[in-house]
Amino acid sequence: MLIALFITSCNSSGNGEYDSRAVATLDKLTETIGELNSLSYTLESFSSDKEGIVNEKLSDAYLKGPNKLFVVHQGINGRKNFWYNGEKFAYFLFDKNEYDILDAPDNTLAVIDSIHSAYGIYFPAADFLYPTLTDDIIENYDQLLYFGEEKLDDVDCIVLEAINENHIVAIWIEKESNLPHKMTIESLTNENKYFQAVYSNWRKDPKLPDIMFEFQPPSNSVQKALK
């Protein structure tokens, strides 16, 4: 199981401080997503690495059933799209006019795991798609705290915080939809490292045609192995 952003170099003993209200809120989030047949959302992210280099990204993600994914992604390195149709994973780099098509596992979460592990690609909001999210946070963090309600961007949210010796993760969950609204990850070992994600345009069970998840290389494009 992958938690691309939450995972750390140390594991919790599982004997820390875990507020039952925070646990219930996370369980409700994963239950809400797990009951959907399809969903789509927008993610705006901001991050800085240990050298303080800033990276901003904008992504639109579309998921259907257990084995279809389409992502439109724009960042400082240009625009790239990802397609997964249940059998093949494809990507296209618009600025370079390059693509590749890979054999893929038979479900979306396995694809996210394998592509992230092999190529370091992080899929937007992937952390919240896993049904074991609550257990994984408890495994990797010594505290999971409940901070009550807060209005953020005119949205009523429930605020949670997970803490270990390396990171503080804050999560704002929309009270009405039970879906993520914002997340921040603050490094406790390097003040330059920071991540912020804002989620919007959540659509529950939208009608997404299967053709959306199929990739056809442009006639003048070049196939180049993903590295």
> In this model, does residue 9 exceed pLDDT 80?
no
CA distance 214 to 227: 22
Q: Which domains, and CATH codes, for the chain?
A: 17-217 (2.50.20.10)
The token duo for 196 is 């912020």
> In this model, does residue 10 exceed pLDDT 70?
no
* More confident of the two residues 191 and 44: 44
What percent of the chain has a predicted confidence (pLDDT) above 90?
75
The pTM of the full predicted model, rounded to 2 decimals, is 0.90
Place of tokens 């239950």: 31
Determine the average pLDDT of the residues in 194-204. Answer: 94
Determine the average pLDDT of the residues in 68-89. Answer: 94
C-alpha 36: how far from its chain's center?
A: 16
What percent of the chain has a predicted confidence (pLDDT) above 70?
93
- At 101 the pLDDT is 97
Place of tokens 């992504």: 59
- At 15 the pLDDT is 66
**Cα 134 to Cα 26, 36, 50, 173, 186, distances in angstroms:** 6, 18, 28, 14, 19
CA distance 121 to 133: 19
Determine the average pLDDT of the residues in 103-127. Answer: 89
Residue 145 pLDDT class (50, 70, 90 cuts) = very high
Per-chain mean pLDDT for the chain: 91
Q: Strand, coil or helix: what is 192?
A: coil
- What are the pLDDT digits (tens) for 30-58? 999 999 999 999 999 998 887 877 888 99
**Cα 175 to Cα 91, 109, 159, 170, distances in angstroms:** 35, 26, 10, 15
Please give the DSSP secondary-structure letter assigned to residue 117: H
